[in-house]
């Protein structure tokens, strides 16, 4: 039964295994590696990748950990929980475009400072696309901090964690001591997989790197993408070798981080004497700047999409117009909508069947697309589709999205699934229900709220997919994400802002619809009582 339940997941993951061999086999030639080492671009590209991915991961974890330590438990922590869905609904590419409009030399922040500094032209500063990738690291850190906060919200919502904090505070420990000696030793091991996902994304990100990263040379991930899509077989083989290098780099960093992690946990576990209680950090309002950046990103995108003319150093557009929206190309929006809806609806039964009857000890295999760099996997998908052949087809494109949508949906559902009271299922079976009937009439209706949340998360994950759409779609399918990244290379800023906003609107609609359905179901359930 367990392996039958795993069949949908195997259908999604299975073709990737031979695809990895087909995609990476050219890199097994020693001459390919010699060509890679002799390429003048890759050392600088590697350094930029290490700086942006490393700093971005550290910044994201520091922001999330600092806010959790300062604000949990308390009303401000509850305010973060309410705002997180809005922040999570902003895709990476759209956030990068908004941050570009915000911090570039001609961006909104420079315009705000221009009257004080006496600028009439944009300053000759490199605030984006810098050689070290610092602007990319900033974008990754800010964006991934919201994901890590979402993970911490789920973990800190468990009653066991809350009880441990109450006991520690009752023994005289202040907030900082409680976190250091009681909570963080428990939480750090559970944050390993999410942090691995953040690092893997930072190493292999292409859409954000195209918008904010350097171009001569670009990051290693962008370089790999350019080589893999080059018509020259020698460069394709070089791209396969560089993709393998990215994978090895991730494993090396992950092993080193795990070794350091265990040392930190051991140090944090030693209790210290009780000191005088510190001041309550929940009054600091540390979460405000983090969310203000998100709001500013959305606001500047909205302004640019409505701007008629907007020359530096004007802080506001000279005039507002709906012309950009009236002339907008809505075909990418429609493609993104049906693709994300189809991927989510296909993955929901696969996720539920896996969690109910699948081999749970292999959950780590299901999470592999989230915790290893995506470029080797995308190349494997493309190699498999070429041999079917199904590249450039709607079915192949849809399958390419499932590989990332399914793990995120399982990750969203696994906590509520494990917390479900099994006695209810035992009672249903005792009353004559079959295993499937008990799920359909008891378990899944009671888990409707987390199921709707998983649907919203899966929908937003599909909307944000860039590399799978480019490779599997063969350039025949344009989505709001591919259009936004393509326009960032030098297209009309107003059109770029409109496409980036459409990329935000779709996940926001998904989360909003999930919230409305959840409220309706709750009122309906109370009415039946």
DSSP letters spanning 38-90: H-SSHHHHHHHHHHHHHHHHHHHHHHHHHHHHHHSSSHHHHHHHHHHHHHHTS
SS3 for 257-316 is: HHHHHHHHHHHHHCCCCCCCCCCCHHHCCCHHHHHHHHHHHHHHHHHHHHEEECCCCCCC
- Over residues 271-276, the mean pLDDT reads 46
pTM for the predicted model, two decimal places: 0.89
Radius of gyration from C-alpha coordinates of the chain: 24
Buried b (16+ CB within 10 A) or exposed e, 271-291: eeeeeeeeeebbeeebbeebb
Q: Crossing angle for the helix pair 287-306 and 42-71, nearest 10 degrees?
A: 120
Model confidence pLDDT, tens digit, residues 442-466: 999 989 988 998 999 999 999 999 9
- Over residues 25-36, the mean pLDDT reads 91
Model confidence pLDDT, tens digit, residues 355-373: 999 888 888 888 889 888 8
pLDDT exceeds cutoff 70 at 303: yes
Q: What is residue 276's predicted lDDT score, i.e. its pLDDT? A: 43
Asked if residue 246 is part of any domain, the answer here is yes
Asked if residue 104 is part of any domain, the answer here is yes
Q: What is residue 203's predicted lDDT score, i.e. its pLDDT? A: 94
Whole-number Å distance between alpha carbons of 223 and 221 = 5
Q: What is residue 528's predicted lDDT score, i.e. its pLDDT? A: 57
- Over residues 285-294, the mean pLDDT reads 72
Asked if residue 286 is part of any domain, the answer here is no
Ramachandran category for residue 373: left, alpha or beta (phi over 0 → left; psi -120 to 50 → alpha): beta
Model confidence pLDDT, tens digit, residues 322-331: 999 998 889 9
Q: What is residue 284's predicted lDDT score, i.e. its pLDDT? A: 45
pLDDT exceeds cutoff 90 at 518: no
User: Tokens 């070794």, residue?
Assistant: 259
Query: Cβ neighbours of residue 56 under 8 Å, at least 6 residues apart?
Result: 136, 137, 138, 139, 140, 141, 144, 198, 202
pLDDT exceeds cutoff 80 at 310: yes
In this prediction, residue 225 has a pLDDT band, given cuts at 50, 70 and 90, of: very high
Asked if residue 433 is part of any domain, the answer here is yes
Say what percent of the chain tops pLDDT 90.
Answer: 50
Whole-number Å distance between alpha carbons of 252 and 435 = 44
Model confidence pLDDT, tens digit, residues 397-430: 999 999 999 999 998 888 888 878 888 889 998 9
Asked if residue 418 is part of any domain, the answer here is yes
In this prediction, residue 280 has a pLDDT band, given cuts at 50, 70 and 90, of: very low
Q: What is the tally of structural domains in the chain? A: 1
Q: Token pair for residue 201?
A: 């994304």
pLDDT exceeds cutoff 90 at 103: yes
Model confidence pLDDT, tens digit, residues 462-472: 999 999 999 99
- Over residues 352-357, the mean pLDDT reads 92
Asked if residue 278 is part of any domain, the answer here is no
pLDDT exceeds cutoff 60 at 106: yes
Q: What is residue 489's predicted lDDT score, i.e. its pLDDT? A: 78
pLDDT exceeds cutoff 70 at 526: no
Q: Residue 310's domain is classified under what CATH number?
A: 1.10.3720.10
**What range defines the domain where residue 389 resides?**
2-272+295-528
Asked if residue 289 is part of any domain, the answer here is no
Asked if residue 279 is part of any domain, the answer here is no
Q: What is residue 79's predicted lDDT score, i.e. its pLDDT? A: 85
320 - beta bridge partners?
Answer: 307
307 - beta bridge partners?
Answer: 320
């Amino acid at each position: 039964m367990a392996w039958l339940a795993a069949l949908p997941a195997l259908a999604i993951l299975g073709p990737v295994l031979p695809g990895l061999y087909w995609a990476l086999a050219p890199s097994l030639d020693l001459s390919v590696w010699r060509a890679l080492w002799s390429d003048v671009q890759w050392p600088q590209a590697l350094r930029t990748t290490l700086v942006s991915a490393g700093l971005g991961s550290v910044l994201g974890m520091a922001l999330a950990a600092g806010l959790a330590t300062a604000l949990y438990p308390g009303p401000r922590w509850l305010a973060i929980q309410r705002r997180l869905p809005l922040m999570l609904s902003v895709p990476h590419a759209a956030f990068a475009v908004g941050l570009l409009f915000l911090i570039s030399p001609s961006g909104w922040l420079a315009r705000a400072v221009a009257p004080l500094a006496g600028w009439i032209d944009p300053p000759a500063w490199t605030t984006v696309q810098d050689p070290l990738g610092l602007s990319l690291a900033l974008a990754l850190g800010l964006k991934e901090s919201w994901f890590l906060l979402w993970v911490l919200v789920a973990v800190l919502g468990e009653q066991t964690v809350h009880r441990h904090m109450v006991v520690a505070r009752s023994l005289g420990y202040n907030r900082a001591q409680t976190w250091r000696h009681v909570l963080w030793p428990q939480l750090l091991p559970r944050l390993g997989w999410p942090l691995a996902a953040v690092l893997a994304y930072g190493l292999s990100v292409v859409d954000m790197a195209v918008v904010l990263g350097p171009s001569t040379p670009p990051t290693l991930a962008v370089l790999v993408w350019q080589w893999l899509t080059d018509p020259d077989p020698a460069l394709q083989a070089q791209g396969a070798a560089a993709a393998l290098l990215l994978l090895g780099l991730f494993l090396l960093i992950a092993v080193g981080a795990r070794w350091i992690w265990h040392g930190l946990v051991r140090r944090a576990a030693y209790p210290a004497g009780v000191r005088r209680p510190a001041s309550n950090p929940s009054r600091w309002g540390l979460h405000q700047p983090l969310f203000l950046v998100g709001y500013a990103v959305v606001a500047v995108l909205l302004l640019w999409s409505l701007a008629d003319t907007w020359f530096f150093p004007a802080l506001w557009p000279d005039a507002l117009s709906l012309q950009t929206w009236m002339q907008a190309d809505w075909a990418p929006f429609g493609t993104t909508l049906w693709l994300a809806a189809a991927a989510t609806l296909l993955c929901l039964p696969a996720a539920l069947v896996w969690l109910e009857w699948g081999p749970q000890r292999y959950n780590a295999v299901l999470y592999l697309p989230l915790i290893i760099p995506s470029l080797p996997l995308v190349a494997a998908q493309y190699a498999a589709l070429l041999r079917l052949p199904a590249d450039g087809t709607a079915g192949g494109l849809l399958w390419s999205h499932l590989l990332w949508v399914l793990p995120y949906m399982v990750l969203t559902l696994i906590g509520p699934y494990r917390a479900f009271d099994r006695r209810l299922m035992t009672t249903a079976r005792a009353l004559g229900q079959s295993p499937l009937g008990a799920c359909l009439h008891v378990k899944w209706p009671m888990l409707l709220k987390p199921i709707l949340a998983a649907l919203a998360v899966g929908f937003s994950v599909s909307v944000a997919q860039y590399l799978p759409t480019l490779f599997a779609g063969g350039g025949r399918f344009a989505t709001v994400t591919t259009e936004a990244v393509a326009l960032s290379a030098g297209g009309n800023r107003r059109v770029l802002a409109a496409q980036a906003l459409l990329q935000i609107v779709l996940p926001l609609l998904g989360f909003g619809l999930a919230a409305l359905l959840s409220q309706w179901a709750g009122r309906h359930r109370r009415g039946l009582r």
